[in-house]
Amino acid sequence: MIGHTELAKRFGTPSYVYDLDRVRAARRDLLAALPDEVHLFYAAKANPHPDVLREMRGDGGRGCRAEISSVGELAAVLTAGFSGADILYTGPGKTAEELTEALAKGVRLFSVESPGDLRRVGEAAGRLGVTADCLLRVNSVSASTATSIRMTGVPSQFGFDSETLADLREKVSDVPGTTIAGLHFFPLSNAADEASLIAEFRHTIEKAAELQEQLGIRFRFVDIGGGFSAPYAAGGERPVYGELREALAATLDTHFPRWRDGGPRIALESGRYLVGDSGTLLVGVVNIKESRGRRFVILDGGINTFGGMSGLGRILPVSVLPNESAPGAGDPAMLVGPLCTPGDVLGRDVVLADPAPGDLLTIPNAGAYGVTASLLMFLGRPAPTEVVVRGPDVVSASRIDHIRTYAYGQAPR
- DSSP symbol at 385: E
Q: Which listed CATH number (2.40.37.10, 3.40.50.300, 3.40.640.10, 3.30.530.20) goes with 277-398?
A: 2.40.37.10
Q: What's the chain's average pLDDT?
A: 90
Architecture in CATH for domain 33-270: Alpha-Beta Barrel (3.20)
**Closest of 308, 290, 410, 304 to residue 366, by C-alpha:** 308
User: Which of 101-105, 164-168, 216-220, 400-404 has the weakest average pLDDT?
Assistant: 164-168
**Closest of 111, 89, 116, 92 to residue 100, by C-alpha:** 89
pLDDT digit string, tens, across residues 63-93: 999 999 999 999 999 999 999 999 999 999 9
pLDDT digit string, tens, across residues 20-31: 999 999 999 999
Is 105's pLDDT higher than 50?
Answer: yes
Confidence of residue 141 (pLDDT cuts 50, 70, 90): low
User: Which of 174-183, 192-201, 279-288, 314-323 has the weakest average pLDDT?
Assistant: 314-323
pLDDT digit string, tens, across residues 192-213: 899 999 999 999 999 999 999 9
| 253 Rama sector, left if φ>0, alpha if ψ -120 to 50, beta otherwise | alpha
Strand ranges in 20-69 using DSSP code E only, listed in sequence order: 39-43, 65-68
- Report domain extents, the chain: 33-270, 277-398
